[in-house]
């Protein structure tokens, strides 16, 4: 029988006011694409060096409550010491991404996430190794003329997320539930809200049907915004209003927190939208925080360039970005805080996978 009180306490701890999550769970292929941007070879030593930069960043614990890792990273050791140990030593929770990617379920390009077959065995091992959280990403696409996402795709991804969440909790691990509706397309923000609300509603109904303890979960959704091909200017206030209204319509109040993904927005845009949500005067019974990968690492990686001499400045870039997102969780971010032009760089990748 899971320890429900511990699950609840751990979930609440992750969304401590002023703190959020660093997503460093890129697959081998995805980290290779990141390294290509700075002309660094994608080998094990270079991956360890870069992840070590992230995990040893001074004062990171002031703004980051948890870090999501990939299987390789979770197991890696340096000089007989776990690569993630600097995080654990500072009470930063370490997660593990447990899905193994998506597979097509129809000829419309819709997918369902794989990895359930041996998840019970893997989760037992991860829990024994100290994982207290796990993450599973479902991916859904909006295509209004084709009536996508289909009800079939929504339901299949919801059932996979629910089964994953139940297995996590059976092993004392808090599941992070990530049903991502991609920014790809030319849909309006109103259409995005309708789809995202439907996806979250069906997902949490599936969780409830599977007996998942909702206070021991966190939601990692997309923010509600128009598609990248809609020709609409970025509007943080509109994104905040539509996203909060979407959550009000779909997310149970028992869930302690929402840790948004950035979805391809620039670093500055992701921070601005989160800040706008936390400033919005509305009913928000959940903590609203961040779980950013590209929107925390892009400028840091550019400053690093794979060179030891750049570790100190790259660490400062990472910490500054984490600090700005910390302020956004409190509704205290100001555009005048931005002093890095790289934070405005477009990070969108079509049909993003990792």
Beta-strand relationship, 111-113 and 102-104: antiparallel
Q: What angle do CA 10, 171, 196 make, to 5 degrees?
A: 65
Catalytic position from the list 97, 135, 141, 220:
220
- d(CA 179, CA 171) in angstroms, rounded, equals 22
- d(CA 351, CA 215) in angstroms, rounded, equals 31
Instruction: Outline where DSSP puts E strands in 189-333.
Output: 218-219, 257-260, 287-292
Catalytic position from the list 178, 180, 193, 267:
178
**Minimal CA–CA distance to 300: which of 310, 309, 289?**
310
Helices 189-209 and 236-250 pack at an angle, to 10 degrees, of: 30
166 has catalytic annotation: no
CB 263 within 8 Å of CB 180: yes
Q: Give me the DSSP letters along 306-347.
A: T-GGGHHHHHHHHHHHHHHHHHHHTT---GGG---GGGGS--
334 has catalytic annotation: no
Q: ω before 149 within 30° of 0 (cis)?
A: yes
Neighbours of 29 (CB within 10 A): 11
Cα–Cα separations (whole angstroms), residue 302 to 190, 253, 345: 35, 39, 11
Give the catalytic positions in this structure: 178, 220
């Amino acid at each position: 029988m899971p320890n429900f009180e511990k699950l609840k306490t751990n979930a609440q701890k992750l969304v401590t006011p002023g703190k959020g999550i660093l997503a460093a769970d890129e697959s081998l292929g995805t980290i290779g694409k990141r390294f290509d941007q700075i002309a660094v070879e994608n080998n094990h030593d270079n991956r360890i060096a870069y992840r070590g930069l992230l995990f040893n960043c001074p004062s990171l614990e002031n703004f980051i409550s948890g870090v999501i890792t990939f299987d390789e990273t979770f197991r890696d050791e340096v000089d007989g010491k776990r690569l993630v140990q600097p995080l654990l030593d500072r009470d930063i929770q370490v997660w593990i991404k447990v899905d193994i990617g998506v597979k097509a379920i129809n000829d419309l390009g819709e997918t369902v996430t794989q990895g359930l077959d041996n998840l019970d065995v893997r989760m037992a091992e991860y829990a024994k190794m100290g994982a207290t959280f796990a993450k599973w990403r479902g991916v859904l696409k909006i295509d209004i003329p084709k009536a996508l996402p289909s009800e079939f795709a929504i339901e299949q991804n919801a059932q996979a997320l629910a089964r994953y969440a139940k297995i996590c909790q059976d092993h004392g691990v808090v599941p992070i539930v990530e049903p991502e509706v991609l920014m790809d397309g030319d849909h309006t923000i109103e259409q995005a809200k309708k789809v995202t609300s439907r996806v979250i509603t069906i997902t949490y109904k599936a969780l409830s049907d599977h007996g998942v303890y909702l206070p021991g979960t966190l939601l990692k959704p997309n923010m509600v915004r128009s598609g990248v091909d809609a020709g609409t200017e970025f509007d943080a206030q509109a994104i905040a209003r539509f996203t909060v209204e979407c959550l009000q319509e779909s997310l149970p109040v028992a869930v302690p927190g929402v840790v948004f993904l950035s979805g391809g927005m620039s670093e500055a845009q992701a921070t601005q939208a989160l800040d706008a949500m936390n400033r919005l005067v509305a009913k928000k019974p959940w903590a609203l925080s961040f779980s950013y990968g590209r929107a925390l690492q892009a400028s840091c990686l550019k400053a690093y360039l794979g060179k030891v001499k750049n570790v100190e400045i790259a660490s400062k870039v990472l910490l500054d970005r984490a600090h700005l997102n910390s302020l956004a969780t409190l509704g205290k971010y100001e555009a005048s805080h931005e002093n890095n032009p790289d934070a405005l760089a477009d990070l969108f990748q079509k049909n993003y996978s990792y």
